[in-house]
Structure 1
């Protein structure tokens, strides 16, 4: 399981980037009224949700391998884990709604009159989701840079030497 834990820092940046790009594409598609952007947004959202799932699963494994938590570190970890779960489930819900939208608009040709309103709603949902992405990353970054989560012992020793002039 340590192998999966070691993948977390390598995987985690993909869903961050993909979900932000998804949001940008939704906005661009709305502003420029080009279907290519909204279709690309849908595909990027699928990969973003899959990446978020991989990040959460590998993050859970990483948590199991790290035992040296301070009280503040444990609280930070719990907040990071909570925001990561919220992000995953939130964008999974957006993906379900987006899939229903694609089925109704693209395949069944229903609700075309409300398509612009739906696109506005998806931009708002995506922007809200970006807040969760930000909070997850903020807490994760703080765990690494302030508490040394996932940092090897050798690197921590070198950092201590630099900080203390040893």
Structure 2
């Protein structure tokens, strides 16, 4: 569920906000509500006024840091917006919108805490705790969305921006090469290669000399068998 877009009037500060100041400021703005919630939960058991005053001071600091996170985020967002993809730009718009709500809500939490301390009524204290829990949940979501802007979309990451520029240059060069190849194909007709006739090698005739030699050897063997006296024609000698 997306929150309705809220736009604040432009506020011109008497000084320039440096770039890349948003991350450290934002970390404080995200951590403080969790600390305040722990103090309030512990004070439900302890019921010490000193703990309640400490919590109020932390809420005051939280509201100030949330405002600082908003202004530093606007500065960094302007620098990163043009370099992001369409999806990244849409995510950045949503991140800024939720940040605006959180900046205003931090002062509502501050007022709720002030009233709960002044009036000491159970209904006001319950309403304050509900507001605080909701604020903590929303600011944690804001931190998650901010991390995705950096790690997924590469917001304000110099190396990612350099790689994007290189990819853009390579894409342009590739388009130019494709255009040149298309022109060359239009100028030069395709060359048709002649079909090569495949010659079937003739079967090699048997070696005539080898055949003649084999026949001569066969005849010699047969002649030697005829000339040799067989064992059956030899005279047999008898012994008395």
Shorter chain as denominator, the TM-score bin is 0.7 to 0.9
Partner of 1:55: 69
> Take 2:116 and 2:129, find their aligned partners in 1: how far apart are those partners?
13
Task: Specify which structure has the higher proportion of helix.
Answer: 1
TM-score of the aligned structures, taking structure 2 as reference length? 0.57
Q: Which residue of 1 aligns with 2:20?
A: 6
Q: Which has the higher contact order (CA 8 A, sep 6+)?
A: 1
Q: CA deviation at 1:3?
A: 5.0
Change (3 A) 1:118 1:14: same
**146 and 54 in structure 1: CA distance in 2 versus 1, 3 angstrom threshold:** same
Deviations 1:11-53 (A, max 9, x none): 1100111121112212221232222222111100000110010
Q: Measured at CA, do residues 129 and 58 of structure 1 come closer, stay the same or move farther in structure 2, by a change above 3 Å?
A: same
Partner of 2:97: 82
Q: State the Cα deviation string for residues 72-126 of structure 1 (Å, max 9, x = none).
A: 1011111111111111111111112322343xx2xxxxx44x2x43323222111
TM-score (norm 1): 0.80
Alignment RMSD: 2.1
Of residues 152, 167, 175 in structure 2, which corresponds to 1:146?
152
Shift of 1:2: 7.8
The answer to whether the Cα contact below 8 Å between 1:2 and 1:65 also exists between their aligned partners in 2 is no
Show structure 1 runs of 5+ residues with no match: 106-110, 158-166
Is contact 1:45-1:95 (8 Å) kept? yes
Q: How many residues align?
A: 148
1:70-149 equivalences in 2 (<5 Å):
70-102=85-117, 105=118, 111-112=119-120, 114=121, 116-149=122-155
2:32 aligned with 1:32: no
Partners in 2 of 1:99 and 1:139 — Cα distance? 30
Q: Could you tell me whether the CA contact under 8 Å between 1:26 and 1:119 is conserved in 2?
A: no
State the structure with more CA Rg: 2
Cross-structure match for 2:238: none
| 2:31 is the alignment partner of 1:45 | no
